[in-house]
Structure formats: structure tokens, C-alpha cells
Amino acid sequence: MQLRYNFRVYPTPGQRVALAQAFGCARVVYNDALAARETARRDGQPYIKDAELSKALTEAKGTPERAWLSEVSSVVLQQALTDLNTAYRNFFASITGKRRGARVGPPRFRSRKDNRQSIRFTRNARFAVTAGGKLRLPKVGELAVRWSRELPSEPSSVTIIKDASGRYFASFVVQTDDQPLAPVACEVGIDLGLSTFAVLSDGKTIASPRFLRRAERKLRKAQQSLSRKEKGSANRAKARLKVAKAHAKVSDTHRDWAHKQSTTIIRDNQAVYVEDLCVKGLARTRLAKSVHDAGWGMFTRMLEEKADRYGRTFARVDRWFPSSQLCSECGALSGKKPLHVREWTCACGAVHDRDLNAARNILAAGRAERLNACGGTVSLSA
């Protein structure tokens, strides 16, 4: 299994200049290759192959207009072409139906004003982690890295990223073995919500942290300050950086919280079942801000990835399954209920908390689908 290990790096002023030059060269190579293919398409010429683009890059280095491309590592430039090829493959696979998920658009030109800049070094670049714990990159130097943990194996590549808030990160791709946890008897169904982030079928609840809502006042003031600055001024650049740092803090805090919660659930349960919510559709309603603040998609993705890594079972229950309408005791279907109805009584006499009952039904449905796939007896009873 391949994983990414991200670490904060702190380049010196000179190294920042070298990285900025590498970012710019990679962007130019990407845009030149994209422009060549777009021109060939408009002129009715055959699709330009990867080898032809690589040959054109080598020839461009010998011209006065592109001679400065030789001042950065050639691997960085070749990886820019690889990124373009990947973008085209994803686009073609999307329009032909081979790629699942949302429709992928054609590649677009990169801008030097993009909030995120990145370059990638592979083993051909001979990057190395020194004995002193620094990251040595060709034509950049040795970058100071803040190691939070050790790399499990030799990295196959490293991507240097500069985010919108001006921070630099090194993202290593490493090969790891699956680390299955000891089997446990517990299984859990999870009902996700807004007022309460998650209700588990075993009765546990996870309160909604609402990181975005809590930082909303600070973000609003920072954005208002930015809007008052003159475009192109140094003060506007400072204000933009302040807004980016405020958003980065919210994002980092939310991601750290989601990692901790998902790890706890995967560690304590052998199987995890969640409802397959249409997050993209819900994000277009009047509850859009609250839906984005909840971060259901990120949370469920972490659950799925960690379940696969640690030998647990993860499954999604169909979004049309009436988890809030079924009685988890007798299985009777009681019909739709307004959102303000948080507790209801079934005809069999069972009194249900809306979210807890839904979580138990999700657990039962997940078990039923799992047993059905294995040839077992299907039952919706918890």
C-alpha cells in the first residue's frame, strides 16, 4: 500500500527563490505542452504523443527564449509533463465512462497567481534525507524538515508544496505493509447529522465541533480588511496572507479532529456502516454552510481508508434506505417525519430517539447486505 507522509519544511530565503524558480519553470513547461496539444487539436492535427513533448522540451532548453529551463532539475520539468498526461488520461476516462465519480474537465492552464504551487522529485533526481535529518534536493539545497514521525520505507518520490498561506510542505510517497488490528466483536452503524455530528448505534454520540462557525467572526473581519485594500498594494498582499492563514488554521484543526475520531471508531469496531449521503447535493441547499462545516465527506473517506489499511470492514448503506422511518425493534415503517421530530413512539410501544434509531437501522441494513453477499440469512432486525 502506498501512503503519503507530509512534513513541514522551512526553506531559507535563498532556497525560497530557488523553489519559486522551480515552480515557475514547471508551470511554463506544463502550459507550453498544453498549448501545443490545443493548437494541434484546433488545426486538426494528430494528438501529440508524450515522447514528442519530451523531445520538444529538450529542444526548448537550447533556445534563447527557454534557456533558463536548464537552471532547475530536469526531473521537475519531466514530472510537469507527466502531470499533464495524467490530466488528459483522467479527462478521456471520464468522458468515456471508464472513470467513476464526478465528471472531470479538460486540463487548464496554470497561473503564477494560483494559491497552491508544487513540484515533484522522483528517485531519478537523487533527492535524499541526510544523516542530519535534512532533505537534500537538486539545485535547491538542504531543506530543514520538522519530522513528526519516521518514514516506514525509502520514499519513491517527494512533492514540495507551497500553500496559500505561504507554508512549505514535503509530501513523501512511501510503500507500507497493511497493519491489521486484532479482531474485535463490535460492529457499529453511524448516523451523521448537523446538530450532533454522529450518533453511533451503541449509543455513543460525537458532538459537532463547528470549527468554521466558531472562526466565522474572525474570518469575516479578515475578509473585510482584505476587501478594503487597494489591488496590487503591499498591504493587500499582507491582508490576503492573513485570510489564508485563518482558513488554513480552521482546515488543519478540522482535519486533525476527523483523523482522531475516525481512528477511534476503526480501532474499536470490526465493521463500520454509514449512510451514503449525497454531500454535493446537500451543499447546494440552504444548509450549505453547515454541511461544509460538518465535513462528512472527509470523515467517511478517512473511515474507508483506515478500514482498508487496518483490516476492518467498511460499507455504505443506500441513501434511499428509510433509516429514520423504520422501527429498529419491530421493523415497522412509520412514514416520513419532519426534522423537528427528534423522538417518536412506534405502534409496538417502543420509544425511539430519531438519530439513535437511524444508526441502529443503518447497522442492521449494513449487516444484512454483508450477510447477503456472503450467502447468509438476510434480516433487518438489530
Query: Which residues form the catalytic set?
Result: 191, 275, 355
- The answer to whether 255 and 298 are in contact (CB under 8 A) is yes
Provide long-range contacts, Cβ within 8 A and 24+ apart, for 175-179.
175/1, 175/2, 176/1, 176/2, 176/3, 176/152, 177/1, 178/1, 178/309, 178/310, 178/311, 179/309, 179/310, 179/311
Q: Which residues, in sequence order, are bridge partners of residue 8?
A: 146, 169
Residues listed for the chain: 382
User: What residues pair up with 205 in beta bridges, in sequence order?
Assistant: 199
Cα gap 311→220, rounded to integer Å: 43
Centre a 10 Å sphere on the Cβ of residue 106 and count the other Cβ atoms it contains.
15
Check if the beta carbon of residue 57 is closer than 8 Å to that of residue 29. yes
CB 127 within 8 A of CB 158: yes
Distance CA 58, CA 70 (A): 9
Give me the numbers of helices (H) and strands (E) for the chain, helices first please. Answer: 10, 14
DSSP-H helix ranges across the chain: 13-42, 50-61, 74-95, 211-214, 216-227, 234-268, 279-282, 288-294, 296-309, 354-373
